[in-house]
Amino acid sequence: MTSRVVVTGLGALTPLGKTVQESWTNLLRGKSGIRPVSELPDFKNYEPHCPANVGVGNITGFDASDYGPLFTSQDLRRMSLFTQFAVVAAQEALDDAGLLHKLNEINSEKFGCVIGSGIASIQDMYDSILGFDRGKKLAPTFVPKILANMACGNVSIKFQLKGVSHCASTACATGNNAIGDAYNFIRLGYNDLCLAGASEACVHPLALSGFLRAKSITTDGISRPFDARRSGFVLGEGAGILVLESLQHAQKRGAHIYAEVEGYGLSSDAHHITSPSENGEGASRAMKMALNTIDPTQVDYVNAHATSTILGDRAELQAITQIFANDPRDYRLKVSSNKGAIGHLLGAAGAVESIFTIKSLQDGVIPHTLNLEKVGGASGDHLESWQQLDLVKGKPDSQKLRYALANSFGFGGINSSLLFRKWER
């Protein structure tokens, strides 16, 4: 018998704030966490390679030493920035779940950790290679600091979680895949609880230059999901961590429950390493798999991956309309993207956006897509089918919500979709 899985804790660091509530409040207020790269203190390192008006969504003012006893001096020496992000978000999630000061009351062997990263530590790799080329000895912490699973490993050690330790690394689908994997580990009885999510600290001249060369980044510094003027994504960073728990375990300890994880879908385009198939067929299959237990007409909202690229946004909207085209309800399905406000957090995107999706269910409000002014209009956009959807723009939309999908897609043709249900006793 498989267990039902619920969400009992949330933690996040985003370009909009250092906590879930701060990030969520600023998202609903229409604030942007994106700024020109020219405003970064180390802009001189970007200047030879990146136009000054390219945007980035970085974590401003983050200093691990500000978190007091959470980080020892040894931690600060051996943890990369993406790992530090994960530890901070994990602590918030545990505290939010009422577990932080009661971990000794939980069976640690049934408490897992599933945290991934898309790129891990590009800064440590870059610095070490430059030093190595100049004859400098590598630090003994070099290899541990660059491994993608070290966020998961260090969080497990920090909070003494002895259950499944697993790292998903599936490019920009990482966060969703981590949550989905944790969901399955609990359903199958491997764990009673899991910290699940992803972390990314990739705002760096090398990463930004690489995505510019791949023609994935917009050069005007503005992320415009679904908009006629969309021209690429804005690079962002951050972390999102959720506490997932079997329903039985959560109810036994009297936990507050945000939502239930109802479904998880994943698929491969098998089409191209960076571009989706234009009809969104792969994304559609992932969403259908996530919707396996309910009728699609029960879904009220889709938090779209929508990175602000011409091909990506088009393919996803095509996929959504394929599934919901015959919706008999007298209103259009609500769809929005968070990336206009926070940029694209790469591996951490799905985890942070899943948290926002859960907050939407909890509060009955859908964040609008920042910078969406004119829906579609790029050459090849299918405006006739897009008009079947309500692409939320201008201001948040208040509505009673029960089911919501959160999508994430990654290079390599990876598609993932999570279905959440608002918790109702």
What type of residue is 259? A
Q: Find the helix or strand (DSSP H, E) in which 155 lies.
A: helix 150-159
Helix, strand, coil shares of the chain as percentages rounded to 5?
Answer: 40, 20, 40
Phi, psi at 149, each rounded to 5°: -85, 5
3-state secondary structure of 303: strand
Instruction: Tell me whether residue 172 is one of the annotated catalytic residues.
Output: yes
Query: If phi over 0 gives left and psi between -120 and 50 gives alpha, with beta otherwise, what is residue 296?
Result: alpha
DSSP assignment string, 236-266: E-EEEEEEEEEHHHHHHTT----EEEEEEEE
Look up tokens 């969520």; give the residue.
Answer: 24
Catalytic residue among 50, 113, 152, 172: 172
Q: CA angle, corner 386, sides to 381 and 388, nearest 5?
A: 160
- What residues have CB less than 8 Å from 384, skipping those under 6 apart? none
Q: Are 242 and 261 contacting, i.e. CB atoms less than 8 angstroms apart?
A: no
Task: Give CA–CA dist 261/243, Å, rounded.
Answer: 11
Q: Which two tokens stand for residue 383?
A: 């405006």
Eight-class DSSP state of 17: B
Q: Are 119 and 169 contacting, i.e. CB atoms less than 8 angstroms apart?
A: no
> Strand runs (DSSP E) across 149-296, as ranges?
165-166, 193-200, 235-236, 238-246, 259-268
Q: Which two tokens stand for residue 133?
A: 């080329």
Question: Residue 172's closest CA among 195, 202, 205?
Answer: 202
Q: Which residues are catalytic?
A: 172
